[in-house]
Amino acid sequence: MSRTSDAMELREEDIAGHVGMAQALLEGFDHAPRIGTGAGGEAVERSSGIGTRRRFRSTTPGLVTRRRVTPGAVSLIARVEGADGDDALMSPLQATVLHGLRRAIAIALAVAENVAEQSGLGDLKRANLEGSLPAARRGEFAELLAAEALVTLYVFGNAAAYFMSAHVPEVAVEVGEVEEVLIDNGQTALHGALWELDQKISAHGADDAHVVATVAAFAESLMEKVALRAQTASRLEGFKAASWRVEADDFTVSGFSPASKAKSTTLTMTFKKPNEVVGNHIAKYQAMKLAKMLMAYDFDRRLNPFAELGGFIFTFMGDGAPGTGKTTLIQMMAGLISEYCNNAGYPFRYQNLSTDNIDSYQGKSGQNAKAFINNIIDPGVIGFGTIDDIDQLAGKRGDRQSSAGQLEITAVLMESFAGANTVVRGNCTFGMFSNYPENVDDALRQRAGARFLVDGPQTREDYVDILYLLMGKNHDIPLGDHQVFEAQAIKKAVAASFEGHSKPHEAGLLTVYNAVQEKIGALDTINKLGTYLKAIQEADPRFTGRAIKNITDAVKVRAMDFELPDEWMEQPDLFLFKGYDEKKAMIEGMRQPITVEMVVQEINRYADSEFRYADKSDEVAIKNAVRDMQRMEAAKKRYLSGGAE
């Protein structure tokens, strides 16, 4: 079956060509540290000629088999072997660590070689060896060597962390900041990193579990240090823009972004059933549909038929007053996806980006946001990412109250949700939620492809239902003349909700709508609909081409106005486990025709939300301006009176 992927294959023969060098580095080399300080530990002396075989321990009493060696002597094989005291055999976990390190080094060298050939460094190296390197290109040569070192170190750390992730025990090891980061060239960089890793294992690797934890922690710290250094380094554009995939390990190198295993997260939240979400009919209906859409993702093709056919919601925004049910909606959607994934045996990953991710350290907030994005978009999992209270988390550009960390998060989210390199495979979705969406940066808000108005209970029946639900069972109060949850019958409620958008709700938009209809009549052609859109743009300049795209995407979602049958989720063989083309054909057979009414309703739904945000934003700005004027007036009076108060 074919595979859709934007990564180049890193061939096994390319990796195998560097295994010998990786093995030699693990066996031993000498390194004189320039920046780092040694741990003062002991290293095991290896007998001449033994090579990579397990060391022998003498049975002769009193024979010394260990001695202190210089701090620069590095033998990671000996260091890892020595973690279990006097056991004469290498443990399975030690072998796993060493194999993982050797594989990580070989992959790093293979990627660095690939980058060097693409950047022209390979030619410059050959010219340098021959003594024919032009003096004018020595500066370029040094920059490319430094870039090679950073690439080598990052890929090594990335791969090592990836290979250790499945074996990390529940022990905590604090390795501190990586110091010996050398950028002379790739091999020198590896010497420095492996020397420091040897020192860390000497200090923390008291047993096999602590060795694994130390290697994993060191790899993460190395990646962080190198990624920060790379922000100001040159000649890295080619590496940042490309990606390589190692098929045998299911490992992808994608610039300075950490790879992750395709494993689920353990959810501890309280899940909610759909009937426990009272009101919010359109938001609930779209969330239920989206949960099933995600399950159509094909892990072999790495693509979702809904993403190809149109109608897949990659990003959405849920807004409403406090207490209207945004958290409940998140709990419902996460619960549905988790249940469906459990039935199918798919890995599911949920994560929320919270204010805890805002960091005072420059660049760290952006790194936290990027790690969140990468964790969710991992093509090996079904992902659901939420950003609750996004108005507090992501800064509004031009707002003096926005911190540098908040602005970093805004930049990452904007690039990730609709940037030049954004790839929508259909395996994940992101929900942004806010009580005050008018405080969200306009450009970021417009990157939300769908709008979920979370307005809570509205009708008398809604309030009876929510009271009945929250009262629980521990009482004897009679229900009275009421059919519980009948008002929450989703199809009936959603049809009424959509029909309610046949005319705008916001006063400003209604004025535009009526004026256009009086001038050109019913909006029943593409030409008239376009005229209405232009009139909206004249009333609100923020209504741009991105808004039109979001509206047409919403119309395509309406064309997919059906829920995949519950039995398809309960019995995966009926749909989920079928081939991509068959799943696509089954979905196409259920697609509905697009009507004028759908288009008008979606224009009004989207434009209503923009007018609502603009009105609130303007009102807040006016109140703040009035307050500033009042303060200035009071200050003038106090100043003129001599400042006695």
Unique residue bearing structure tokens 């964790």: 375
Between 54 and 131, name the one with better pLDDT.
131
C-alpha triplet 516, 520, 523: angle, nearest 5°: 75
Q: Is the pLDDT of residue 53 over 70?
A: no
**Mean of all residue pLDDT scores within the chain:** 82
CB 312 within 8 A of CB 424: yes
What one-letter code names the amino acid at 491? K
Q: Which of 114, 113, 112, 134 is nearest to 124 (CA)?
A: 134
CA distance 634 to 381: 59
Residue 57: the pLDDT is 38
Tokens of 269: 């939240």
3-state secondary structure at position 29:
strand
Mean pLDDT, range 328-354, rounded to an integer: 90
- Rounded CA-CA distance 604/505 in Å is 8
pLDDT tens-place string over residues 264-320 = 555 556 677 776 776 667 788 888 889 999 999 999 888 999 988 877 889 998 887
Would you state the pLDDT for residue 638? Answer: 84
β partners of residue 261: none
Instruction: Please tell me the least confidently modeled range out of 100-109, 369-378, 516-525.
Output: 369-378
Strand pairing partners for 387? Answer: 432
d(CA 222, CA 189): 11
**35-39, 248-252, 343-347: range with lowest mean pLDDT:** 35-39
Give the list of residues 6+ apart from residue 156 with CB closer than 8 angstroms, or none: 104, 105, 107, 108, 190, 193, 219, 222
Q: Whole-angstrom Cα distance, residue 606 to residue 430?
A: 18
Nearest-angstrom CA–CA distance, 179 and 218: 11
> Of 504, 512, 531, 510, whose CA–CA distance to 603 is shortest?
504
CA distance 314 to 424: 7
User: What are the helix (H) ranges across 433-563?
Assistant: 442-445, 460-471, 490-499, 507-520, 526-539, 545-559
- The two tokens of residue 347 are 């890995």
End-to-end CA distance of the chain: 81
338: CB partners within 8 A, 6+ apart? 267, 271, 348, 350
Chain centroid to Cα 140, Å, comes to 34
Note whether 331 and 318 are within 8 A (CB): no
Rounded to an integer, what distance in angstroms lies between the CA atom of residue 356 and that of residue 329?
Answer: 22
pLDDT at 50: 35
Which residues are 432's β-sheet partners?
Answer: 317, 387
pTM over 0.95: no
pLDDT at 135 over 60: yes
Residue 17 confidence (pLDDT): 94
Return the number of other C-beta atoms located less than 10 Å from residue 552's C-beta: 15
- Which neighbouring-strand residues pair with 319? 434, 453
Percent of the chain with pLDDT over 90: 30
Q: What is the pLDDT of residue 566?
A: 87
Q: Which phi and psi angles does 77 have, rounded to 5°?
A: -60, -50
For 194-207, write each residue's pLDDT tens digit.
999 999 999 888 88
Q: Are 246 and 15 in contact (CB under 8 A)?
A: yes
Beta strands 428-434 and 382-387, pairing class = parallel
Structure tokens at 196: 């420091």
Residue 149, pLDDT score: 94
CA–CA separation, 80 and 91 (whole Å): 10
Give me 636's structure tokens: 């003038």
Tokens of 453: 């108005």
Band (pLDDT 50/70/90 cuts) for residue 643 is low
Q: Which residue has the higher pLDDT, 489 or 429?
A: 429
pLDDT (tens digit per residue) in 443-491: 888 888 777 777 777 778 878 887 887 788 888 888 888 877 665 655 5
Give Dmax (Cα) for the chain: 106
Tens of pLDDT, residues 68-84: 444 568 899 999 988 87
- Any idea which of 25-39, 138-152, 168-182, 267-281 has the lowest mean pLDDT? 267-281
Greater pLDDT, 529 or 365: 529
**∠ CA(409), CA(413), CA(416), 5° rounding?**
140
Look up residue 298 and give its DSSP letter.
Answer: B
Distance CA 339, CA 343 (A): 6
pLDDT value of residue 63 = 37
**C-alpha to C-alpha distance for 507 and 623, rounded to whole angstroms:** 20
Domains of the chain: 8-254 (no CATH), 274-620 (3.40.50.300)
Distance of alpha carbon 140 from alpha carbon 189, whole angstroms:
18
For residue 485, which phi and psi values (nearest 5 degrees)?
A: 65, 10
- Segment 546-554 shows an average pLDDT of 83
Other Cβ atoms within 10 Å of 235 Cβ, number: 20
Of the candidates 359, 424, 354, 363, the one whose C-alpha atom is nearest the C-alpha of residue 390 is: 354
Report phi then psi at 98, rounded to 5: -70, -40
In the chain, count H helices and then E strands: 24, 10
φ, ψ for residue 224, nearest 5 deg: -60, -45
Which pLDDT score is estimated for 241?
Answer: 84
Tell whether the model's pLDDT for residue 401 goes beyond 60: yes
* Secondary structure E strands in 326-408: 348-352, 382-387
